Amino acid sequence: MLPTVRRYIDKHQLLSGSKPVIAGFSGGSDSVALLSILSRLGYRCIAAHCNFHLRDEESDRDEAFAGNFAHRWGIPFHKTDFNTRSYASEKHISVEMAARELRYTWFEELRERLDAQAIAVAHHRDDDVETFLMNLIRGTGIRGLRGIQPKNGFIVRPLLGISREAIRAWVEKEQLAYVTDSSNLSDTYTRNFIRLRILPLLEEINPSVKEAVARTSGHLSAVEGIYQSVVEKARTSLMKENNRISIAELLQLPSPEAILYELLTPFRFTRPVTEAIFAALDKEPGKIFYSSSHRLIKDRNFLLLSALEDTHTEVYTIEAEAGDRWYGPVNLSFRKLIADQTFCLERNKSTALFDYNKLTFPLTLRTWQPGDWFIPFGMKGRKKLSDYFSDHKYSRLDKEQAWLLCSGNNIIWIVGERTDERFRISKTTKNILSVKFFREDAA
């Protein structure tokens, strides 16, 4: 057993160095095996016990046993208590999920406080098989079917390659005491139901079903690595500036719907919503989809992503003496010039020139509102901004991210785009205000 675990640790690079290892220690046979094996292999272990208070006196019995076992072996012992049912009720999650969250949060706090190299838990091959079947039944994707991983951040699983039967036989052979969790004998929980009722039925078909499932899980873990490398390449090529996804480029990829799901998962879009987005790719633009944190707009050529809190309502005030540069949601520079023979007219969208004496200070900067209008440079009549945006094929996101420089109640510049005719310089202009829009990296 010891050489087998040593090889598994080395193969997956689970532990190294002299820092201590936090070992999750319930007192059951699996955790007893984990703690004793790691100790015999020469690792400095710290036993960490959680009392979830779910089994009345039995929970307290387990805590006392764990403390006594660690003391006899000369292993530092830490324990904590949780009101698991109360936490589950507050978070609206199952008791199983509550116990998991509480346990791993405390383990990580302990690891940081004690400067441990890792948190070792006693998952074994049968746990991996049960997890595979649970995820298969629930309909998870390839990531769920790869099963339990040997290492996940600071969480390591040195016994993952060994069966429950082999662990139990070794514990009995070494005459190591342990406690039995009575809840493991009940099929109330999903995992127990799979272990106690489904797996025995599958073993009637294939006595080696556990080994077969473990092999399949391993194969899918390797496939998932290849899959993720393809997804990351697609993310790099498809995600344009400001979280824009090119629809045409997406549809050229193999399995574009799967790629889209992976691109949107970090933004908390669920699979049903992602499926609806994919179905809308060839429909009219303008449809909006939401996750808990983001909004996606289906535009003509792009899917436009933005955080829900990114809508701008604040009005920024810019004093006449703001100085050469003003930093805000957009960066602007201001210069007051004399309109004489030395003045040279600049013609680009990043620079706006105004008759200084027609302006009312302070200037303001804001986003557009329904009913906004201006007189575009070179025209005589007023034009609603909504019509201007439509004429120039602004997406909904472009409209929301357009910034307006205003003098009093008048819009004088759609920043980086078009100025207002009423404030243009003319033959009678004596003073000019030059305003330049620049990006931060050009500051």
Q: Residues 292-303: pLDDT tens digits? A: 788 888 888 889
Does residue 164 share a domain with residue 139? Answer: yes
Average pLDDT (17-42) is 93
Domain containing residue 299: CATH number: 3.30.465
For residues 115 and 107, give the distance between their C-alpha atoms in angstroms, rounded to a whole number. Answer: 12
With beta carbons less than 8 A apart as the criterion, state whether 397 and 304 touch. yes
Residue 213 lies in a domain: yes
| Other beta carbons less than 10 A from residue 69's beta carbon | 23
- What is the percent of the chain where pLDDT is above 70? 95
Does residue 390 share a domain with residue 356? Answer: yes
Given 279, 309, 339, the domain boundary residue is: 309
The domain tally of the chain equals: 3
Residue 283: per-residue pLDDT: 87
Residue 333 in 3-state DSSP? strand
Confidence grade of residue 313 (pLDDT, cut at 50, 70, 90): low
182 has a pLDDT exceeding 80: no
Q: What is the mean pLDDT of the chain?
A: 87
Residue 443: per-residue pLDDT: 40
Residue 400: per-residue pLDDT: 78
Given 260, 284, 309, the domain boundary residue is: 309
Does residue 321 share a domain with residue 287? Answer: no
Does residue 330 share a domain with residue 293? Answer: no
Confidence grade of residue 441 (pLDDT, cut at 50, 70, 90): very low
Report residue 85: phi and psi, to 5°: -65, -40
Residue 301 lies in a domain: yes
Q: What is the pLDDT of residues 379-418, one digit of tens each?
A: 989 999 989 998 888 877 788 788 999 999 999 999 989 9
Residue 176 lies in a domain: yes
| Other beta carbons less than 10 A from residue 70's beta carbon | 24
With beta carbons less than 8 A apart as the criterion, state whether 369 and 389 touch. no
Does residue 336 share a domain with residue 261? Answer: no
Residue linked to tokens 């050009």: 442
Residue 147: per-residue pLDDT: 78
Residue 233 lies in a domain: no
189 has a pLDDT exceeding 60: yes
Pick left, alpha or beta for residue 337 (phi over 0 → left; psi -120 to 50 → alpha; otherwise beta): beta
332 has a pLDDT exceeding 60: yes
286 has a pLDDT exceeding 70: yes
Does residue 160 share a domain with residue 67? Answer: yes
Residue 148: per-residue pLDDT: 85
Among 177, 175, 162, residue whose Cα is nearest residue 70? 177
Confidence grade of residue 228 (pLDDT, cut at 50, 70, 90): confident
Range in 8-22, 277-291, 427-441 the model is least confident about: 427-441
By residue range, what is the domain housing residue 435? Answer: 316-442
Does residue 389 share a domain with residue 251? Answer: no
More confident residue, 313 or 233: 233
Does residue 212 share a domain with residue 98? Answer: yes
Does residue 302 share a domain with residue 168? Answer: no
More confident residue, 113 or 328: 113
Domain containing residue 153: CATH number: 3.40.50.620
166 has a pLDDT exceeding 80: yes
437 has a pLDDT exceeding 90: no
Residue linked to tokens 């019995």: 61
Q: What is the pLDDT of residues 339-388, one digit of tens each?
A: 887 777 777 788 999 999 999 988 999 988 888 999 999 898 999 998 99
Q: What is the pLDDT of residues 243-274, one digit of tens each?
A: 889 999 999 998 899 999 999 988 888 888 89
Does residue 421 share a domain with residue 340? Answer: yes
Given 217, 252, 283, the domain boundary residue is: 217
Q: What is the pLDDT of residues 193-202, one digit of tens each?
A: 888 889 999 9
With beta carbons less than 8 A apart as the criterion, state whether 384 and 411 touch. no
Does residue 429 share a domain with residue 282? Answer: no
Residue 347: per-residue pLDDT: 73
Residue 186 lies in a domain: yes
